[in-house]
């Protein structure tokens, strides 16, 4: 076959002078139109960056002990200090960073597992789908917190390396909702002409799943990944609150709330301030998720 320049076949974008609008750019624009979601994304990003800048600015690290014991919020200690002199602002910022890291690992694991297994279910159907569906149904109704508490008894015995362990364990249990959604999407994507074309050209199953099915289900995947981040933060802090999650000396917002709750009446800052950081964080993640859902779902355009 003679060499034909591709520009002749598809038209060179440079010729027309119009830049092609990629899917991602379109998406970004629709997301940016959602003010609350953009604001929330900025808050999360700034708070995360600030968790690194906090120590140089305030002069207190999360392990430092100040001679001021049980002091209320002041210019020196923005969130006050606890009974042994920890700076609560430094501790809260550390907890925020831990929550962000854990939830990103969780969302990463859950998203990869959920997308691949969901696509496999939708593509192969039949017995593979049946077996995986049983597992998904089981995971969906499983009372997660008690199960994670049982597995979390291990973090009590081991010290130190609890962060990754907690993140991986939570991640392995959170992929089911996404798998169910991707499966449903793939059932409709697989009937499209381009999938048929790819199959006719002899593309392998792996290629079809990773190049055609998963990219076209990406909008649901992104929305569910955001939801998973919020769920992961709530689970991680709940585990730490109960004592089965991240262990000291590492800090979790959950354990800060646990330590502060008995002092809620006398030293309100120990309880209300770390808790507020946690609520604002989860709230912002949910706002971002909501904005993404609006930006990615064409059906919603008319509604909102």
Give the C-alpha separation, 79 to 272, whole Å: 10
Best CA proximity match to 82, nearest among 248, 233, 244: 248
Q: Please provide the DSSP assignment of 110-137 as one string.
A: HHHHHHHHHHHHHHH-HHHHHHHHHHHH
Footprint of other proteins on 255-274 (CB under 8 A): 257-258, 261, 264-265, 271-272
172 binds other proteins (CB under 8 A): no
Least distance from C-beta 302 to other proteins, angstroms?
Answer: 10
Stretch that binds other proteins, among 44-52, 60-68, 149-157, 216-224 (CB under 8 A): 149-157
Q: Report if residue 282 touches other proteins, rule: CB under 8 A.
A: yes
Please identify, using beta-carbon distances, which residue of 98 and 214 lies nearer to other proteins: 98
Mark the segment that binds other proteins (CB under 8 A) among 9-17, 159-167, 210-218, 279-287. 279-287
- Which is it for the CA torsion 39, 44, 49, 55, positive or negative? positive
For residue 9, state whether it binds other proteins (rule: CB under 8 A): no
Place of tokens 């002749």: 8
Element (H, E) at 260: helix 253-260
Size of the residue set binding other proteins (CB under 8 A): 40
- Which of positions 37-76 make contact with other proteins (CB under 8 A)? none
Q: Is 192 left (phi over 0), alpha (psi -120 to 50) or beta?
A: beta
Which residue stretch of 78-86, 110-118, 182-190, 250-258 sits at the interface with other proteins (rule: CB under 8 A)? 250-258
Interaction between residue 131 and other proteins (CB under 8 A):
no
Residue 187 half-sphere exposure, CB side, CA atoms within 13 Å? 9
Helices 268-296 and 35-58, axial angle in degrees (round to 10):
140
Out of 149, 218, 222, 296, which residue is the one contacting other proteins (CB under 8 A)? Answer: 149
Residues at the site binding other proteins, with contacts judged by CB under 8 A: 138, 140-147, 149-151, 153-154, 157, 230, 234, 237-238, 241-244, 254, 257-258, 261, 264-265, 271-272, 275, 278-279, 282-283, 285-287, 303
């Amino acid at each position: 076959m003679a060499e034909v320049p591709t520009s002749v076949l598809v038209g060179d974008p440079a010729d027309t002078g119009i830049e092609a609008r990629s899917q991602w750019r379109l998406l970004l624009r629709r997301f940016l139109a959602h003010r609350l979601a953009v604001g929330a994304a900025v808050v999360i990003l700034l708070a995360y960056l600030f968790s690194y800048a906090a120590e140089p600015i305030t002069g207190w690290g999360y392990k430092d002990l100040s001679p001021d014991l049980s002091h209320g919020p002041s210019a020196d200690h923005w969130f006050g200090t606890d009974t042994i002199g920890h700076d609560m602002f430094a501790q809260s910022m550390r907890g925020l960073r831990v929550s962000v890291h854990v939830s990103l690992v969780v969302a990463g694991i859950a998203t990869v597992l959920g997308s691949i297994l969901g696509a496999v279910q939708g593509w192969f159907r039949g017995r593979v789908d049946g077996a995986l569906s049983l597992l998904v149904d089981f995971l969906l109704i499983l009372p997660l917190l008690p199960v994670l508490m049982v597995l979390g008894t291990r973090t009590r015995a081991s010290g130190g390396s609890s962060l990754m362990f907690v993140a991986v364990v939570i991640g392995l249990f959170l992929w089911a909702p996404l798998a169910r959604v991707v499966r449903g999407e793939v059932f409709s994507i697989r009937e499209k002409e381009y999938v048929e074309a790819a199959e006719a050209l002899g593309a392998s199953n792996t290629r079809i799943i990773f190049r055609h099915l998963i990219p076209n289900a990406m909008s649901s995947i992104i929305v569910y990944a955001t939801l998973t981040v919020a769920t992961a933060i709530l689970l991680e802090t709940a585990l730490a609150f109960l004592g089965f999650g991240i262990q000291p000396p590492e800090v979790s917002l959950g354990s800060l709330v646990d330590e502060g709750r008995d002092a809620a009446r006398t030293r309100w800052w120990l309880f209300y301030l770390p808790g507020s950081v946690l609520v604002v964080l989860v709230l912002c993640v949910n706002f971002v998720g909501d904005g993404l859902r609006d930006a990615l779902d064409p059906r919603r355009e008319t509604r909102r």
